[in-house]
Chain A
């Protein structure tokens, strides 16, 4: 499985729409095996294509506009948005199934989840 985490310094980027970099991690048997830093294009169409080309199956990001969220989902990428924290810590939380803990959620994210319930 290949997952991407949008990155701002050592933290998850606050907004996917303008994030400049992603960490693309290949996971094998629950452990990261390769790490790549990918500079994200500024225009949204090529940004989506980049993720698709990298074979990303799961995207973990901070805030995201609905427009880009729908685009990513329709391209078969599972998006876990409204995540906050340090990239490495978030990655391990994901691998250990702890990403739904409150300390990895952006403030207000329950409102987004409520609005998108059952839709995805």
Chain B
């Protein structure tokens, strides 16, 4: 009786802590799974108990360096080993694990125990601080974006200058950071400069630095961004906004691979990879004589064009989910998701500010929404139907889906397989939805 009561108390205690705990028997089957473990893995206790631990845990170390196995073999516990798991939603979750041996009253080994802590907050904060973004942080299932993803590893490896074109807020800097973090220069700095944010003379000294005495008040030398990025990558955002004078200087750096700080007597070697971005059409600026043709060709070795969010609307649910997860972690809130009505409103919007605008909308909703689902009333007023400039009378998600499918079919001249590919769905799913909505396939 007393043992049973103690057992019950232990369970209550284990369920009340925020660390995940599970135990296994000597055959690697789960015998206990606490509430935090359910939350972190997304697997319920009922489903987990009795299953192999690797089926439930799906950690990066399960196959080759299982910490529990190591502990059971050597008798030494593992403490705070950082690994990641993939939860039941398919999301990578960083965790730290610790292990121990379970013995019965005769000191016989009866299994092992593993405790794990969700490090999502720490990881998110670290990412914010250091900008360690990877491709996995660029959320998309859009066909054009996936094409970009498949090219980028080779682009990252190549060390060539890259021009990233795309409207404001479409993720140009995130892409630049992802390229840098996948390149051989990943251990060296990535230095970002917004060329539009600084006046011309200041931008010049920012980029190339200056020597002491170069001008009045220049008492000490200051290294420029090129010097700071030595061995790494320099990201020049809004490159279309730099003056003709600075264009000449930049061209020289790209050609000669060296630069001269203001007031310096000899040039400095520049071992820097340039990633440039613009929301303008540089080719058009060249035609108008506003951007040097030779510089354009120097920069435009590899061009990546990011589509606006209005052309990849199928990513909206994924992006919303991502921002909700991220803000839940950073703000310590527990918003469950977004209602279909609110999502339909987002789908109707054209997003001139692209992903940044969507992020701001979700941030706005986080202030107003106290819990549960984000609803239309939590969204900014300009998205509501009365004020919406692009409502087209669509009220439900189903109507929006039907419209998206129809538009994809029109764009692909009625070719179902191409439309399915563009929408990121299976051909049979597309067929089913065409039938469900009674859509007339253009051209058929």
Residues of chain A touching chain B, judged by Cβ–Cβ distance below 8 Å, are: 8, 13-15, 17-20, 43, 45-46, 48, 62-67, 69-71, 73-76, 78, 84, 106-109, 111-112, 115-116, 118-120
Contact = CB atoms under 8 A, between A and B. Distances in A.
A14 B54 contact: yes
A45 B152 CA distance: 9
Given A71-B146, A74-B143, 12 more contacts: A15-B63, A15-B86, A17-B86, A17-B92, A46-B153, A74-B141, A84-B52, A108-B47, A109-B88, A112-B88, A120-B424, A120-B425
Given A14-B63, A73-B141, A73-B424, A108 B86 contact: no
B118 to A, nearest CB: 16
B59 A15 contact: yes
A107 B48 contact: yes
B379 to A, nearest CB: 22
A78 to B, nearest CB: 8
Contact of A18 (B52, B60, B150, B433): B60
A64 B86 contact: yes
Nearest to A70: B141
Contact of A112 (B48, B89, B149): B89
Contacts of A65: 86, 90-92, 136
A64 B55 CA distance: 12
A109 B90 CA distance: 9
Interface in B233-247: none
Nearest to B142: A74
B354 interface: no
A83 B436 CA distance: 30
Q: Which of A43, A48, A66, A75 has the most CB of B within 10 A?
A: A66
A83 to B, nearest CB: 10
B interface, over-half SS: mixed
A107 B51 contact: yes
A5 B149 CA distance: 24
Q: Which 10 A-B pairs have the closest CB atoms?
A: A74-B146, A108-B88, A45-B153, A63-B58, A108-B43, A66-B90, A107-B47, A14-B54, A111-B88, A67-B136
9 contacts: A17-B92, A20-B64, A63-B86, A64-B86, A67-B92, A69-B90, A118-B425, A120-B425, A120-B429
B181 interface: no
B171 to A, nearest CB: 15
A106 B55 contact: yes
A40 to B, nearest CB: 11
B424 A119 contact: yes
Nearest to A116: B90
A13 B153 CA distance: 25
Contact of B91 (A66, A73, A106): A66
A19 B425 CA distance: 26
A8 B63 contact: yes
Nearest to A119: B425
A107 B30 CA distance: 12
Contacts of B425: 118-120
Contacts of A111: 42-43, 88-89
B377 interface: no
B88 A71 contact: no
A118 B28 CA distance: 35
Contacts of A69: 90
B62 interface: yes
Contact of A19 (B56, B63, B426): B63
B135 interface: yes
B99 interface: no
Nearest to B56: A107
Contacts of A118: 425, 429, 433
Contact of B58 (A15, A66, A78): A15
Nearest to B60: A18
B41 interface: yes
A75 B145 CA distance: 12
Contacts of B147: 74
A107 B56 CA distance: 6
A61 to B, nearest CB: 11
B396 interface: no
